[in-house]
Amino acid sequence: MQRILNFINGEYIEPISKQYLKGFNPALGMVYSEVPDSDERDVELAVSASKEALAKWGSTTQEQRSEVLLRIANGIEARMEEFALAETNDQGKPLWLSKAMDIPRAVSNLKFYANAALHLNGEFHQTDQHIFNYTLRSPIGVVGCISPWNLPLYLFTWKIAPALAMGNCVIAKPSEITPMTASMLGEVCNAAGLPKGVLNIIHGLGAKVGSAMTKHFDIKAISFTGGTKTGAEISRVAAPMFKKMSLELGGKNPNLIFDDCNFEKTVKISVAAAFTNQGEICLCGSRIFIQDTIYEKFKSAFMEEVKKRTVGDPLNDSSKLGAIASKEHFEKILSYIALAKQEGGEIILGGGAVMVEGRCRQGWFIAPTIIEGLSYDCRINQEEIFGPVVTLVPFTTEAEVIMMANSTPFGLASTIFTENLSRAHRVAAKMESGIVWINCWLERDLRTPFGGVKQSGVGREGGFEALKFFTEEKNVCVKI
Ligand code: TXE
């Protein structure tokens, strides 16, 4: 049994309650770790440590902070195999995916912000020869970062890197479902020379630790990625306190396939968009709209390709889908598949749990599931399932598919497949989403703004947006 500890003021310490939650390996369906059941007292300790560290960290030069971040990135890179295995054991995703995507991206996040921060300029505005304005940017102070369980270290570092780069001290809470890699990060930070108290990692439940962070007067900003309901709760508490907030919430992303697409490429990318990471990525394309002229052809090619995606032990290279992150989430996905049937959908592939032989017999696995025959406005096509479940919906005209694609309360990402350049741009402009991919999916340039509209969130992460989020701006006006 691995016991995880909080990382406060540069030291690994027990939660004040001395209580622990059960940490599961989802592929085994078994408890394998103990996760601190921290509360507001641990948050208080971390805030005190952060406040103490603030003056020193905030007065380091940009170059010094960047160098520390680069050393943290290199420290993770040097332990790539270990981090990848920990991520897989904790989250359930295939090990090859942790190695190819999650841990390398965590390294890139740190390297990117270490470098980007060096290039963030202030602004200057001249009114006439006698008056000019310039902008000073200073760290906010102590900030809170709350991250989810689908891409654990990837999203954890996506938040803490810009916050640290701009001179803030951070109280960070990884998901209680996947705390392992974040807990390992403390060792790397110490080895990299990050001063004590600059990054504090507290484990525990959202309702205790997350909520104590949101309420804490001295935590001046919250950067959150997670469910829309949780985002609404954080806003309810933090908005009246005038905290800065960045909320990256759920998605129900449409994939628009026109009959003039590059067919083979479209099938392959649509399968990846649907089932990568067991469909547990807020960017997954789970509503697949297909022009009726190629509906049947696409359906059979898509099904053939999905059948090749084996569900299995995450440690096997041949497993394209691993386990679902938690039992609760596994049950939620299965309940949506049951709902799809009640709503009149036909399950044309998958449709239930998968029993994986060997050490994973008790694990939480679900077959990639394809459903057709549902209307665009039923619950299955409106609510976020966040699992390996997609629907196929035919359409006739461009106007019709735009209406259906934009019909949900979410607006994170859209994907359009067409070889017609005018159509691609025309439809992209009409998508109610923060991101539009044309003939590709999950192509990420870390400089671009990342986030959603409607119930998919508020604010943008990525690039200079995140660096600016973690600063306060001050306009200085000079009259000569
Ligand atoms: O996420 P939560 P859940 C979606 C997905 C999923 C649903 C619910 O549809 O099925 O959300 O997942 C912390 N104050 N996404 O309930 O609870 C929590 O401890 C402060 C989309 O597991 O939102 C964790 O660290 N913090 C998504 C983090 O919030 C609180 C990724 C996210 O967990 C809190 C994950 C509170 N009151 C789920 N309650 C995406 N956008 O990528 C919980 N937390």
Q: How far is the CA of 234 from the centre of ligand 1 (A)?
A: 11
For residues 385, 389, 395 and 399, what is the CA-based torsion angle, rounded to 10 degrees? 30
Query: How long a stretch of residues is the chain?
Result: 480
Query: Assign residue 462 a region: left if phi > 0, alpha if psi is -120 to 50, beta otherwise?
Result: left
Nearest CA to ligand 1 atom 34: 206
Question: What gap in Å lies between CA 174 and CA 251, rounded to an integer?
Answer: 20
Among 230, 278, 412, 458, residue to substitute to test ligand 1 (most atoms within 8 Å of Cβ): 230
For the CA of 457, the closest atom of ligand 1 is: 41
Nearest CA to ligand 1 atom 16: 227
Say what the pLDDT of residue 58 is.
86
Nearest CA to ligand 1 atom 6: 227
Q: How far is the CA of 371 from the centre of ligand 1 (A)?
A: 26
The residue written with tokens 């001179």 in the block is 167
Nearest CA to ligand 1 atom 7: 227
Q: Quick one: which of 88, 13, 68 has its CA closest to 45? A: 13
pTM of the model: 0.97
For the question of residue 304 being annotated catalytic, the response is no
Say what the pLDDT of residue 199 is.
99
Q: How far is the CA of 176 from the centre of ligand 1 (A)?
A: 10
Say what the pLDDT of residue 204 is.
98
Q: Quick one: which of 187, 115, 201 has its CA closest to 152? A: 201
Question: What gap in Å lies between CA 344 and CA 312, rounded to an integer?
Answer: 30
For the CA of 155, the closest atom of ligand 1 is: 42
- Burial classification of residue 243, based on how many CB atoms lie within 10 Å of its CB (0-12 exposed, 13-18 middle, 19 or more buried): buried
Q: How far is the CA of 1 from the centre of ligand 1 (A)?
A: 26
Q: How far is the CA of 479 from the centre of ligand 1 (A)?
A: 49
Nearest CA to ligand 1 atom 12: 227
- Strand pairing class (253-257; 285-291): parallel
Nearest CA to ligand 1 atom 42: 282
For the question of residue 248 being annotated catalytic, the response is yes
Say what the pLDDT of residue 63 is.
98
Question: What gap in Å lies between CA 392 and CA 267, rounded to an integer?
Answer: 13
Question: What gap in Å lies between CA 261 and CA 238, rounded to an integer?
Answer: 45
For the CA of 385, the closest atom of ligand 1 is: 9
Distance of CA 128 to the CA centre of its chain: 46
- Burial classification of residue 323, based on how many CB atoms lie within 10 Å of its CB (0-12 exposed, 13-18 middle, 19 or more buried): buried
For the CA of 229, the closest atom of ligand 1 is: 23
- Strand pairing class (124-126; 30-36): unpaired
Q: Quick one: which of 432, 401, 406 has its CA closest to 417? A: 401
Domains observed in the chain? 2-249+456-479 (3.40.605.10), 253-448 (3.40.309.10)
Q: Quick one: which of 201, 281, 213, 280 has its CA closest to 245? A: 213
Residue in 248, 280, 384, 461 annotated catalytic: 248
For the CA of 149, the closest atom of ligand 1 is: 35
Ligand 1 pocket, Cβ-based, cut-off 6 angstroms: 146-148, 150, 173, 175-176, 206-207, 210-211, 214, 225-227, 230, 233-234, 248-250, 282, 329, 384, 386
Sequential pLDDT tens for the chain (480 residues): 899 999 999 999 999 999 999 999 999 999 999 999 999 999 999 999 999 999 999 889 999 999 999 999 999 999 999 999 999 999 999 999 999 999 999 999 999 999 999 999 889 999 998 999 999 999 999 999 999 999 999 999 999 999 999 999 999 999 999 999 999 999 999 999 999 999 999 999 999 999 999 999 999 999 999 999 999 999 999 999 999 999 999 999 999 999 999 999 999 999 999 999 999 999 999 999 999 999 999 999 999 999 999 999 999 999 999 999 999 999 999 999 999 999 999 999 999 999 999 999 999 999 999 999 999 999 999 999 999 999 999 999 999 999 999 999 999 999 999 999 999 999 999 999 999 999 999 999 999 999 999 999 999 999 999 999 999 999 999 999
Residue in 282, 372, 384, 461 annotated catalytic: 282
Residues 6+ apart with CB under 8 A from 208: 37, 38, 39, 40
Q: How far is the CA of 230 from the centre of ligand 1 (A)?
A: 6
Q: How far is the CA of 214 from the centre of ligand 1 (A)?
A: 14
